[in-house]
Amino acid sequence: MDPSKEFGLGGLNRFVEAASLTGEIGLDDEEIAWRKQFVGFDAADERRLDDLEPLLRANQDAIADAFYDNLTGHEQTRAVIERSPKGVEQLKRTQKAYLVSLATGDYGEDYFTNRARIGKLHELLDMPLKQYVGQYGLYYDLILSRVDERVQTQVVDAIEDWVDAREATDGGIERVVGALRGLGGDDEPDGLDETLEATVRDAIHDGMQDVLAVLRILNLDLQVASDTYVDSYSQRLERAIDAQRELAMEVEEAVQPPVVQLQRSSASVAESAATIRDHAEGQAADATDAAADVAEVSAAAEEVASVAGDVRETSERAAAEAGEGVDAGERALDALESVEDTTEALLDTAERVEARAADIESVVDRVEDVVDRTAVLATNAKVEATRASDGGPTATIASELETFVEGTRDDLRELDDAATAVRAEAETTREAVADANERVHEGRSEVAAAVETLDEMEDVVDDAAAGMDEVAAAADQQARSVVELSETVEALAGAADSVASEAQSVASASEEQAASARHVADAVAQLSTDPIDEQVPVYERV
């Protein structure tokens, strides 16, 4: 396949608009003519390149192979090749087409448009400019080494032609050798024959003109390709600048409301910070007062702990006294129980005495009946004695009986009175003993209740003593807690002072933040409105 038919048919070509590309880099006929004149490229160079076409075609395979052997031998350039949609063999065919086109171009706008396209394709593959320019060094070596061989051949051919011509005109090889040795005759100076030297010089000069023609066209190609890189960089920079300006405008639009809000918020923060500072200062003063109050509470708590200890001791003594009262009450209960038993015995005795008094009264009544009958007998005896008028024993018996009756009646009346009195006293005693027994019973119940109350009181006092122990412990703990609270309140007072100080700092920082926000807004506005200043060239600053 002819390599020239693949030239410009790669997959990346659809992303390159070559015509507009030359317009972007300012490459028109006038610019092309100026560049040619600047490097000295003229029609003679075009003819020389045309003469080099057979040489380039003959060496295109070797040059392409050596060129890509070098590129694939380096990791950085190999990475670029791997990004190409073409394989290495396809790239070699494209390289062959480019090599031949150096000698077959018209060197007009179409030629350099194609060169701009080649440079753009390399830029699209992200080949760094250093690699693109650097590969021309290898290109020089590969091409000029072949041109060097051609020049050497041309010099040899020129010398041979000169020898043939001299031999024909001078008539012998000896004269030719003498000319080569500078032995042309006595009139000629030592050295090469002038015609030979001129021939050699002309041949070398002609070869160097071929080299210069190759260097000039490669230089023009490199200029155009470099322009595509520079144009791409410029476009990227312009897009970045446009994006930066657009972003700056968006940022300005986005930042302006928050900045205004930030300024308002900063003012509000400053005002709030001042309020916080005032409150913090007041809190610090209140905390100081609270610390003093807490100190008083601490002293009171210590006093409570001391009093609780005293109360605990008193409770312990009360518990001991209550215990003794319980013991005394129990002993009183025992004594009352004995009294109750005694009163019950007295009550029984009084009842028996009363019964005996009643028996005595019955006996007295029967004796009175006997006395009455005896009195009747005495009266009858007295009557009988009167009748008998003898005054004898009957009268005496009657008199004695009458005396006995009278005396017995007196004794019986006394006995009856005594029995009645005993009975009355016995009844009174029984009632008194019954009343005493009831009172003793009631007293015993009350003493039992008192003993139970004292027992409960002892438990209560014990509980009170235990409670006072807890109160004393709690008071001690409270005293310690109050001390810690006092320290905390003092720390709170210090923290309040710090808050007041920090609030002042916040207010200052808020004001600085508001100022910074204004600077940010101004800076953002400048990003979107200020033109980019062109840097003054160094030569204008000298």
Instruction: Please report the pLDDT score of residue 480 as a whole number.
Output: 77
Please, which pLDDT band fits residue 465 given cuts at 50, 70 and 90? low
Task: Give the phi and the psi of residue 150 in degrees, each rounded to 5.
Answer: -65, -40
Contact 210, 151 (CB under 8 A): yes
Q: How many CA atoms lie within 13 A of 79 on its CB side?
A: 6
SS3 (DSSP) at 227: helix
Query: What local confidence, expressed as pLDDT, does residue 220 receive?
Result: 96
Say if residue 123's pLDDT is above 80.
yes
On the 0-12 / 13-18 / 19+ scale of CB atoms within 10 A, 174 is exposed
Q: What percent of the chain has pLDDT over 90?
A: 26
86 closest CA partner among 19, 4, 142, 13: 13
Token couple for 353 = 């005495």
Give the pLDDT confidence of 151-166 residue by residue, as tens digits. Answer: 999 899 989 988 888 8
Where does the pLDDT of residue 303 fall: very low under 50, low under 70, confident under 90, or very high at 90 and above?
confident
Q: Does the domain spanning 3-256 belong to CATH 3.30.465.10?
A: no
Those residues whose C-beta lies under 8 Å from the C-beta of residue 370, and which sit 6 or more positions away, are none
Task: Check pLDDT > 70 for residue 481.
Answer: yes
**Which pLDDT score, from 0 to 100, does residue 377 have?**
79
Please check whether residue 312 is in contact with residue 391, taking contact to mean a CB–CB distance below 8 angstroms.
no
Q: What is the mean pLDDT of the segment spanning 13-31?
A: 83
- pLDDT value of residue 1: 43
Which pLDDT score, from 0 to 100, does residue 438 have?
Answer: 79
Q: What is the mean pLDDT of residues 18-42?
A: 91
Contact between 275 and 473 under an 8 Å Cβ cutoff? The reply is no
The closest of 194, 498, 448, 227 to 335, measured between CA atoms, is 448
> Using alpha carbons only, what angle is made at residue 106 by residues 100 and 108, rounded to the nearest 5 degrees?
125
Q: Is 207 a residue whose pLDDT tops 60?
A: yes
How far apart CA 127 and CA 229 sit, in angstroms, is 10
pLDDT at 49: 96
Task: Tell me the backbone φ, ψ of residue 12, rounded to 5 degrees.
Answer: -85, -10
Determine which of 13-27, 52-66, 80-94, 496-510 has the lowest per-residue pLDDT on average. Answer: 496-510
pLDDT in tens, 61-98: 999 999 999 999 999 999 999 999 999 999 999 999 99
Looking at mean pLDDT, say which of 142-151, 302-311, 467-476, 485-494 comes out highest.
Answer: 142-151
The burial class, CB within 10 Å (0-12 / 13-18 / 19+), for 474 is middle
Of these ranges, 86-100, 268-282, 354-368, the one predicted with the greatest mean pLDDT is 86-100
Average pLDDT of span 395-400: 76
Please tell me whether residue 73 adopts helix, strand or coil conformation.
coil
Strand residue runs (E) in 199-264 = none
pTM of the model: 0.50
CB 273 within 8 A of CB 510: yes
Q: Decide which of 361 and 117 is more confident.
A: 117
Residue type, 297: V
Structure tokens at 514: 């508001």
The whole-number pLDDT of residue 41 equals 97
| Residue-level pLDDT at 38 | 97
- Mean pLDDT on 243-252: 79
Confidence check: pLDDT of 535 > 60: yes
pLDDT computed for residue 112 by the predictor: 94
User: Residue 150 — very low, low, confident or very high, per pLDDT cuts 50/70/90?
Assistant: very high
Dmax of the chain from CA atoms?
265
Task: Work out the average pLDDT over 216-230.
Answer: 93
Does residue 462 register a pLDDT over 80? Answer: no
Q: What value does the mean pLDDT take over residues 353-380?
A: 80
Average pLDDT in the chain: 79
Question: What are the CB-based long-range contacts (under 8 Å, 24+) for 339-342?
Answer: 339/440, 340/437, 340/440, 340/441, 340/444
State the pLDDT confidence band at 397, using cuts at 50, 70 and 90: confident
Rounded to whole angstroms, the Cα distance separating 216 from 195 reads 31
Q: Residue 255 pLDDT > 60, yes or no?
A: yes
pLDDT at 432: 78
pLDDT tier at 335, thresholds 50, 70, 90: confident
Measured in Å, how far apart are the chain's first and last C-alpha atoms? 60
Q: How far apart are CA 415 and CA 411, in angstroms?
A: 6
Residue 328: both structure tokens together: 């005394």
Could you state, in order of their start, the residue ranges of all structural domains in the chain?
Answer: 3-256, 301-485
164 versus 258: the higher-pLDDT residue is 164
The pLDDT confidence band at residue 373, using thresholds 50, 70 and 90, is confident
C-alpha 88: how far from its chain's center? 57
On the question of pLDDT at 223 being above 90, the answer is: yes
- Give the long-range contacts of residues 457-465, CB within 8 A, separation 24 or more: 457/322, 457/325, 458/319, 458/322, 458/323, 458/326, 461/315, 461/318, 461/319, 461/322, 462/315, 462/319, 464/311, 464/315, 464/318, 465/312, 465/315, 465/316, 465/319
Highest mean pLDDT among 176-190, 303-317, 421-435, 460-474 belongs to 421-435
What is the CATH class of 301-485?
A: mainly alpha
Which regions of 16-86 does DSSP assign to beta strands (E)? none
Among 33-37, 294-298, 347-351, 525-529, the range with the most confident prediction by mean pLDDT is 33-37
Residue 149 identity: E
Q: How far is the C-alpha of 385 from the C-alpha of 395, rounded, in Å?
A: 5
Highest-confidence segment of 15-19, 152-156, 452-456: 152-156
